[in-house]
Amino acid sequence: MIKLIQISDCHIDDQVMTMGVNTQENLKKVVKKLADYEFDVMLISGDLTHNGTPSSYARIKEILAPINTPIHVIGGNHDNLIQLNTIFKDNILNSTKLGNWQIIGIDSVQLNKASGLLTKEALNDLDQKLSDSNSEYIIVVLHHPIVSMNSSWDDNLSLENPEDLLQVLNKHSKIRCVVFGHAHESASFNHERFAIVSCPSTALQYNKESRIGFNEFTLHDNGQIDWTTQWI
């Protein structure tokens, strides 16, 4: 059994106040709460920083320092991928194995655009990784929502070509879950083959939820996956 913690959209900046909230203090609250948890790995699904400055990446790394489990990150539309790949070079998620499970990351970020897009190359690469996997069960992670959020969120800011992604995903029976951030909202969606789960932000939510939070997943050896959102 694997315990996985997902956080997202931290939006750490050089200024403590970002989008009207103290994103640094909010992330510290999350890290402090996680001190009471036993888990095996942390996943950060994009927008670690708000403006992508080197100092903001250094700051988030400092705030995350009490986390003593492996941390895997992917970039979001607010991230500077050069800085992210420099300062978090040992944490960038391509693919990682956890017992019977494998987590595969996809880059859905477009330059200077809030919405996401998966290129043909990215889709072909994902298809190949899924085909080559010798793990029993797989989780796929990207930054952008792949389904309509059915909320006040503007779906035009989500993944622009979700049908292309789903066409690839539906070919592979090992997939148990697709997770993402970006929408600053906790939600889950029905799919005939796998779960689809959205992670809340550690900074603030875009809906009427006033709390900050993170997702906690339990990955069972038999392929069952359970999750819950923990709020602060």
CATH number of the domain that residue 218 is part of: 3.60.21.10
- Residue 5 in 3-state DSSP? strand
Q: What percent of the chain has pLDDT over 70?
A: 100
Pairing between β-strand 225-231 and β-strand 195-198 as defined by DSSP bridges:
unpaired
pLDDT under 50: residue ranges of the chain: none
Q: What local confidence, expressed as pLDDT, does residue 67 receive?
A: 97
Pairwise CA distance, residues 78 & 68, whole Å: 26
Q: What local confidence, expressed as pLDDT, does residue 190 receive?
A: 86
Residues 6+ positions from 157 with CB-CB distance below 8 Å: 114, 115, 144, 182
* Residue-number span of the structural domain to which 96 is assigned: 2-231
For residue 204 the two structure tokens come to 């603030």
Q: What local confidence, expressed as pLDDT, does residue 133 receive?
A: 97
Residues recorded for the chain: 232
Number of domains in the chain: 1
Q: What local confidence, expressed as pLDDT, does residue 141 receive?
A: 98
DSSP secondary structure letters along 120-165:
HHHHHHHHHHHHH--SSEEEEE-SS-SS---SSS-GGGSBS-HHHH
Q: What local confidence, expressed as pLDDT, does residue 135 receive?
A: 98
